[in-house]
Amino acid sequence: MKKGFDPKNMATKDLHQLIIGSVAPRPIAFVSTFDENGNLNLAPYSFFNAFSSNPPILVFSSNRRVTNNTTKDTLHNILTTKKAVINAVSYDIVRQMSLSSVEFDPGVSEFEKVGLTPQPSHVIDVPGVKESPVNMECVVKDIIALGEHGGAGHLIICEVVYISIDENKFTDGKLDPYKLDLMARMGRNYYVRANGDAIMEIHQSVTDKPIGFDGLPDDIVKSNILTGNEIAAMACLLQFPDAEEKQKVLQTHFNGIKPAKELLHQKAAVLIREKKVEEALALLMA
């Protein structure tokens, strides 16, 4: 059973919690801007993502406060200057990022309040955050207001004009997610750290045509023992095992005698966890 919710019949603050809890984890744009008097501002925005690589476009949303329908300093600054640096948030600076979300008075520099260092940019005059592993200098192309009431967002559409990345975050010339150690926002006060077991690699060719769920025998797809992920691992294979392979794995694991279905599926699940997916399918089809 699923619990249903009608956005039109809910308090905005409750709807907000459902949305941020469900659309998660979200990357965090740590946005630095200048106001018209040259005061530096820094604030986190997790209604944020990348939407295009050519041109390189990032979008984040600055929302009207639900409590009093006021708008935020980052939006005011961007309306004037049309420039921002979007800094990535790594584990090392996550508490400083969180502290910067306090509603300090306009003109107060969050850089000073949270102990982060402004770092001169290359193309725009707004500084980035030195301690952040990635700084993306942006020119704001458009701002789209999504409503007039508390909770309404303003989409801030940014074109990236320069990217600076800590050289220590690369392995063999490629950005290394383990070294980046990025943080993401979830619902309520929860965050997730993209490191260790939280990172999972899935190799998936988009051009090779795999067997698919509909190509697998029914008793595999309807297994009470194998999980959806385990069945998917086999559905990703490009070809079925041949008779020789089937006989060989049956011999290896069960002395050539096919056991009861439950035992067979349990063994296949173990093989899949050991990354022996071809072997698992051969055993199930033996």
Ligand X SMILES: Cc1cc2nc3c(=O)[nH]c(=O)nc-3n(C[C@H](O)[C@H](O)[C@H](O)COP(=O)(O)O)c2cc1C
Say how far apart CA 183 and CA 75 lie, in whole Å. 23
Contact 161, 150 (CB under 8 A): no
Closer residue to ligand X, CB minimum distance, 61 or 121: 61
Q: How far apart are CA 211 and CA 208, in angstroms?
A: 10
Among 46, 87, 121, 223, binds ligand X (CB under 6 A): 46
Per CB under 6 A, 92 contacts ligand X: no
Would you give the binding string for ligand X spanning residues 99-138, x where CB under 6 A is met? --x-x-----------------------------------
Token pair, residue 76, equals: 């005011």
3-state secondary structure of 42: strand
Residues 6+ away with beta carbon under 8 Å from 267: 253, 254, 259, 280, 283
Reported as type and span, the H/E element at residue 4 is: none
Report, in Å, the least distance between residue 72 CB and ligand X: 3
Q: Does 44 contact ligand X by CB under 6 A?
A: yes
Name residues contacting ligand X, limited to 194-223 (CB under 6 A): none
Q: Choose, by CB under 6 A, the member of 25, 28, 93, 134 that binds ligand X.
A: 28
The helix or strand, by DSSP H or E, that contains position 231, with its residue range, turns out to be: helix 228-235
Tell which one of 27, 40, 73, 136 touches ligand X (CB under 6 A): 73
End-to-end Cα, the chain, rounded Å = 37
45 binds ligand X (CB under 6 A): yes
Q: Residue 101 belongs to what H/E stretch? A: none
CB of 28 to ligand X, least distance (A): 5
In the complex, the residues that contact ligand X under the rule CB under 6 A are: 28, 41, 43-47, 61-63, 72-74, 98, 101, 103, 185
